[in-house]
Amino acid sequence: MIWIRSTCVLSFILFCAHIAAVSIKHLSEGNVHDEDFDEQRDISEINFAEGLDLFQGDILLRNSRNGLRDPNTRWKFPIPYILADNLGLNAKGAILYAFEMFRLRSCVDFKPYEGESSYIIFQKFSGCWSEVGDQHVGQNLSIGQGCDYKAIIEHEILHALGFYHEQSRTDRDDYVNIWWDEILPGFEHNFNTYDDSFITDLNTPYDYESLMHYEPFSFNKNESAPTITAKIPEFNTIIGQRLDFSATDLERLNRMYNCTTTHTLLDHCAFEKANICGMIQGTRDDADWVHEDSSQPGQVDHTLVGQCTGAGYFMHFSTRLGVTEEAALLESRVLYPKRKQQCLQFFYKMTGSPSDRLVIWVKRDDSTGNVRKLVKVQTFQGDLDQNWKIAHVTLREETKFRYLFQGSKGDPQNSNGGIYLDDITLTETPCPTGVWTVRNFSQVLQSTVKGDKLLSPRFYNSEGYGFGLTLYPHGRASYSPSGYLGVAFHLCSGENDAILEWPVENRQVIMTILDQEPDARNRMSSSMVFTTSKSQTSSAINDSVIWDRPSIVGSYHKDCDCFRSIDWGWSNFLSHEMLKRKSFLKNDDLILFVDFEGTFPDFPE
Ligand SMILES: *[C@@H]1O[C@H](CO)[C@@H](O)[C@H](O)[C@H]1NC(C)=O
Ligand SMILES: *[C@@H]1O[C@H](CO)[C@@H](O)[C@H](O)[C@H]1NC(C)=O
Ligand SMILES: *[C@@H]1O[C@H](CO)[C@@H](O)[C@H](O)[C@H]1NC(C)=O
Ligand SMILES: *[C@@H]1O[C@H](CO)[C@@H](O)[C@H](O)[C@H]1NC(C)=O
Ligand SMILES: *[C@@H]1O[C@H](CO)[C@@H](O)[C@H](O)[C@H]1NC(C)=O
Ligand SMILES: [Ca+2]
Ligand SMILES: [Ca+2]
Ligand SMILES: [Zn+2]
C-alpha cells in the first residue's frame, strides 16, 4: 500500500493538511467486528418509535395556535437558553455546535439564561420536538434519545424560531403528492396544510431542499412505500435532507428576523466582482496581484469549477518574470473581530518555482488607532502541484485588523507559473484540526466496492492524542442499504501515548464532509458529532473500552506505522446522490475535517 502525502509546509502541531492519493484497502485482516456504527434516523421515525403523537410529528401546541404571521411570537436576540441536567454530554455538545451554525449564517444568537421571562430549556424527554415561536413563558425543547444530531437540533430550533414544516405550506399540493392511503391510520393530521392567513412563505418558492421538509417515508405503514413524493421526481432523493439549512431556509430566517449580518462570518471573497471585495493592492511593493478570469487555456477558477468552464475569477501573481524576492501584497479591508480567534480558509495553488512563497500576515492597531503593525503568521512554499488546495490559518486578533497575502518570487528564471488565490472565508471559529483531501474521488467510487475503505493520515489534537478517519466509499460490508458514503473515527497510537490518560473519554468528535460552495453561509456540509464514553466497548476486544490505548486495543497498520483503534461512525454519513448534487466534489476532491477536543467545546462568547 502506498500513501503519497504532501509534506507539511509548516510544522504546525495542531494542523496539517494532507492530500492522499487513491489507495484502497481491502478488508483482509479478517476482523469481523472491526467497527461500531450508528445510524441517523429521522425525527418522525424517532418520535413514532417513542409512541408520541404530536401535532405534525414534532410540534408541541399550546392552547392557541400562533402562526408565522404573528409578530408576538418573534424572539429577541440573544435567546436565553438552559441545557437541562438530563441531557447527555453529547447532546449538550451537539446543541452548542448547532448554535454555532446559526451564528455563522444569521443574526440569531443564544446566551445562558439569567432569569428572563422568555427562554428555551433543552431537555432530554422522549423524542425530538419543539413549540413554535416565542411563548413568552419559557418553553421546553426536547432533544431525546437519537435526536442529538446537528441537523435535527437545527430543525427543532427553527420550529422554536417560528417555522412550520415545508410541506404544510398552503400551496404544497402544487409541488408534492401526498399518498393518503399509505399513511398510518390516525396519523393523517401530520400532513395538514395551513391557510395563508396563518402562515406566510415570506415570498419564497417551495423548497424541496428545506431542512423543514418531511422525508418521503414519514408516517408510512408499508416500509417500502412513500407517503410524500416530489412532483419533480429528481427531488425525491432530496426531500427530508438532514445535512444543514438550505439557502431558502436561511433566506426566510433572515427575512423573518431582519438579519443584516451574521455573528461569526467576518469576510468572504470569491473574487467574482471587479471590486475584489474591498481588498487593496499594496503600493510599496514591486508588483500587483492580477484579477484574472479563467478564459485562458489551462486556467481554472475555483468558485465555479464544474459549473461553467472558462468562467469565474481569481487572483494571480505570476512568478515567471522579474527578479528573485519581488513581491506583491493583497490586503483586506479593516475588520472588527468580536472573539479572540479566527480561521482564515482559502483555496490556493502554487504552480511556479518550489522556492516561491505565499506569506500570510496581519496588520494590527499600532496603538494610535492606525492598522499598520505587521505580524507574520504563516508561510506556504511552492510545490508545483497544479491543483487547487484548501488551506487554513489560525489568527488570534482581538481588535481591528487586516489580513494580507504576500506573493514572493523564488526563482523567476525557472518558474513557469505563479500563485493563485480564490474562495476566501474568514470566520470567528476555530480551524479544523485534521484536514484530509481525497483526490480523484469519482475514480475512487468506480474502483471500490462495498466494504472497501481508505484511511486518513494520523492527526494530533491539542492534548497530543493521535486520531484518524476511515472512509467507506460504498459503506460497510455489513450495512445493507446501498448508495452511501460511510465515515468513521478511530484513535491512532502516537508519540505522546505514554503520558496521556487512557481510556480517553468525554471528548467531542466532529466529522465533516465539506460542501465546497464558496459562500460559507450556503454550505450544506455533512457533519456528525459524538462524544467518547467508557460505555463504548466492543466484543472484538474482549469488551474493552474502544478508546483505550491503541497499542493495546488497536491493530497495527503499516501506512502510518501505528496502531489504529476500532472504527466508530456512520454508514449513512452522506448519500451518493447528495455527493453529486452539492459542491462536495469540486475538482473531484473530497475534503473531510475532523476534530477531537475537550469535554465541552468552549466557544468564545
Ligand atoms: C487523478 O487522475 C489524474 C488523471 O486521471 C491523474 O493524472 C492523477 O495523477 C490522479 N491523481 C491522484 C492524486 O491520484
Ligand atoms: C417542561 O416540561 C416539564 C415536564 O412536562 C414541565 O413540568 C415544565 O413546566 C415545562 N417547562 C416549561 C418551561 O414549559
Ligand atoms: C408495500 O409496498 C411495496 C412497494 O410499493 C409493494 O410491492 C407491497 O405489495 C406493499 N406491501 C403491502 C403489505 O402492502
Ligand atoms: C422587521 O422589520 C419590519 C419592518 O421594519 C418590522 O415591522 C418588524 O417588526 C421587524 N421584525 C423583527 C423581528 O424585528
Ligand atoms: C481476548 O481474550 C482472549 C481469551 O481470553 C485472548 O486470547 C485474546 O488475546 C484477548 N484479546 C484481546 C484483544 O485482549
Ligand atoms: Ca502592489
Ligand atoms: Ca473565483
Ligand atoms: Zn419538525
Query: Could you tell me the distance, in angstroms and rounded to a whole number, from the CA of residue 172 to the centre of ligand 7?
Result: 36
Nearest atom (ligand 4) to Cα of 71: 9
Q: Which of 448, 397, 450, 391 minimizes the C-alpha distance to 421?
A: 391
Nearest atom (ligand 4) to Cα of 74: 13
The answer as to whether 17 is a domain residue is no
Same domain as 357, residue 223: no
Choose which residue among 60, 137, 140 to substitute to test ligand 2 binding: the one with the highest number of ligand atoms within 8 A of its C-beta. Answer: 140
Q: Assign 14 a pLDDT band (cuts: 50, 70, 90).
A: very low
The answer as to whether 514 is a domain residue is yes
Query: Could you tell me the distance, in angstroms and rounded to a whole number, from the CA of residue 534 to the centre of ligand 5?
Result: 19
Q: What is the mean pLDDT of residues 331-360?
A: 97
The answer as to whether 446 is a domain residue is yes
Same domain as 453, residue 350: no
Nearest atom (ligand 1) to Cα of 20: 13
Domain boundary among 372, 397, 427: 427
Strand 139-143 relative to strand 120-123, pairing: parallel
Query: Could you tell me the distance, in angstroms and rounded to a whole number, from the CA of residue 458 to the centre of ligand 5?
Result: 26
Query: Could you tell me the distance, in angstroms and rounded to a whole number, from the CA of residue 315 to the centre of ligand 6?
Result: 13
Query: Is the CB of 451 inside a 6 Å radius of any atom of ligand 2?
Result: no
Q: Which of 314, 267, 291, 247 minimizes the C-alpha distance to 425?
A: 267
Ligand closest in space to the Cα of 116:
2
Query: Could you tell me the distance, in angstroms and rounded to a whole number, from the CA of residue 290 to the centre of ligand 6?
Result: 10
DSSP-assigned letter for residue 88: -
DSSP-assigned letter for residue 81: E
Query: Is the CB of 3 inside a 6 Å radius of any atom of ligand 1?
Result: no
Catalytic choice (35, 156, 215, 292)? 156
Ligand closest in space to the Cα of 327:
6
Query: Is the CB of 10 inside a 6 Å radius of any atom of ligand 3?
Result: no
The answer as to whether 25 is a domain residue is no
Amino acid 17 reads A
Query: Is the CB of 257 inside a 6 Å radius of any atom of ligand 4?
Result: yes
* Catalytic residue check, 45: no
581 compared with 15, residue with greater pLDDT: 581
CATH number at residue 489: 2.60.210.10
Query: Could you tell me the distance, in angstroms and rounded to a whole number, from the CA of residue 169 to the centre of ligand 1?
Result: 47
Q: Whose CA is nearest to atom 3 of ligand 5?
A: 542
The answer to pTM > 0.75 is: yes
End-to-end CA distance of the chain: 46
Query: Could you tell me the distance, in angstroms and rounded to a whole number, from the CA of residue 98 to the centre of ligand 2?
Result: 23
Return the minimum-mean-pLDDT range out of 52-66, 169-183, 309-323: 52-66
Q: Which of 358, 569, 407 minimizes the C-alpha distance to 479?
A: 569
What radius of gyration do the chain's Cα atoms show?
25
Residue 31 confidence (pLDDT) above 50: no
Query: Is the CB of 67 inside a 6 Å radius of any atom of ligand 2?
Result: no
Count the Cβ atoms, other than its own, within 10 Å of residue 553.
22
Query: Could you tell me the distance, in angstroms and rounded to a whole number, from the CA of residue 521 to the centre of ligand 4?
Result: 22
Supply the pLDDT for residue 481.
85
Same domain as 94, residue 76: yes
Residue 36 confidence (pLDDT) above 90: no
CATH number at residue 361: 2.60.120.200
The answer as to whether 200 is a domain residue is yes
CATH number at residue 246: 3.40.390.10
Domain boundary among 214, 237, 264: 264
Give the residues surrounding ligand 5 with Cβ less than 6 Å away. 541-542
What tens digit of pLDDT does each residue of 223-261 get?
Answer: 999 999 999 999 999 999 999 999 999 999 999 999 999
Residue 300 confidence (pLDDT) above 80: yes
Q: Total structural domains in the chain?
A: 3
- Residues marked as binding? 155, 159, 165
Query: Is the CB of 138 inside a 6 Å radius of any atom of ligand 2?
Result: yes
Ligand closest in space to the Cα of 258:
4
Nearest atom (ligand 5) to Cα of 540: 13
Query: Is the CB of 139 inside a 6 Å radius of any atom of ligand 2?
Result: yes
User: Residue-wise over 142-169: b if at least 16 C-beta within 10 A, else e?
Assistant: bbbebbbbbbbbbbbbbbbbbbbbbbbb
Count the Cβ atoms, other than its own, within 10 Å of residue 493.
22
Query: Is the CB of 440 inside a 6 Å radius of any atom of ligand 1?
Result: yes
The answer as to whether 282 is a domain residue is yes
Q: CA 11 to CA 27: how far, in whole Å?
A: 33
Same domain as 326, residue 284: yes
Same domain as 49, residue 106: yes
Q: Which three cell numbers stand for residue 186?
A: 390516525
Q: CA 8 to CA 378: how far, in whole Å?
A: 12
Same domain as 440, residue 407: no
Same domain as 324, residue 231: no
Residue 5 confidence (pLDDT) above 50: no
Same domain as 400, residue 254: no
Q: Whose CA is nearest to atom 7 of ligand 1?
A: 440
Count the Cβ atoms, other than its own, within 10 Å of residue 598.
12
The three-state DSSP-derived secondary structure of 412-462 is HHHCCCEEEEEEEEEECCCCCCEEEEECCHHHHHHHCCCCCEEECCCEECC
Ligand closest in space to the Cα of 519:
7
| DSSP structure string for 280-348 | EE-SSSSB--EEEETTSTT---STTTTTSTT--EEEEEE-SSS-TT-EEEEE---B--SSS-EEEEEEE
Same domain as 293, residue 249: no
Q: Assign 198 a pLDDT band (cuts: 50, 70, 90).
A: confident
Supply the pLDDT for residue 494.
97
CB 206 within 8 A of CB 172: yes
Q: What is the mean pLDDT of the chain?
A: 89
Same domain as 540, residue 418: no
Residue range(s) defining the domain that contains residue 197: 36-264
Q: Which three cell numbers stand for residue 377?
A: 503568521
Query: Is the CB of 71 inside a 6 Å radius of any atom of ligand 4?
Result: yes
Count the Cβ atoms, other than its own, within 10 Å of residue 531.
20
Distances in Å between the Cα of 452 and the Cα atoms of 30, 218, 391, 455, 584 are: 13, 32, 28, 10, 20
Q: Whose CA is nearest to atom 8 of ligand 5?
A: 542
Q: Provide the 3-class DSSP secondary structure of residue 60.
A: coil
The answer as to whether 24 is a domain residue is no
Choose which residue among 34, 542, 551, 552 to substitute to test ligand 5 binding: the one with the highest number of ligand atoms within 8 A of its C-beta. Answer: 542
What tens digit of pLDDT does each residue of 119-148 get?
Answer: 999 999 999 999 999 999 999 999 999 999
Q: Which of 570, 571, 534 minimizes the C-alpha distance to 553?
A: 534
User: Residue-wise over 323-362: b if at least 16 C-beta within 10 A, else e?
Assistant: eeebbbbbbbeebebebebbbbbbbbbbbbbeebbbbbbb
Residue 12 confidence (pLDDT) above 60: no
Domain boundary among 427, 458, 479: 427
Q: Assign 600 a pLDDT band (cuts: 50, 70, 90).
A: low
Supply the pLDDT for residue 518.
93
Same domain as 543, residue 461: yes
CB 456 within 8 A of CB 546: no
Amino acid 298 reads G
What tens digit of pLDDT does each residue of 79-102 get?
Answer: 999 999 999 999 999 999 999 999
Q: CA 527 to CA 513: how far, in whole Å?
A: 7
Query: Is the CB of 22 inside a 6 Å radius of any atom of ligand 1?
Result: yes
Amino acid 411 reads D
Contacts of 454 (CB under 8 A, 6+ apart): 20, 23, 24, 25, 438, 444, 470, 471, 473
The answer as to whether 5 is a domain residue is no
Q: Which of 435, 426, 278 minimizes the C-alpha distance to 345?
A: 426
Q: CA 451 to CA 235: how far, in whole Å?
A: 28
Same domain as 323, residue 235: no
Residue 488 confidence (pLDDT) above 90: yes
Q: Which three cell numbers stand for residue 586?
A: 469540486
Choose which residue among 181, 182, 184, 224 to substitute to test ligand 3 binding: the one with the highest number of ligand atoms within 8 A of its C-beta. Answer: 224
- Residues marked as binding for Zn(2+)? 155, 159, 165
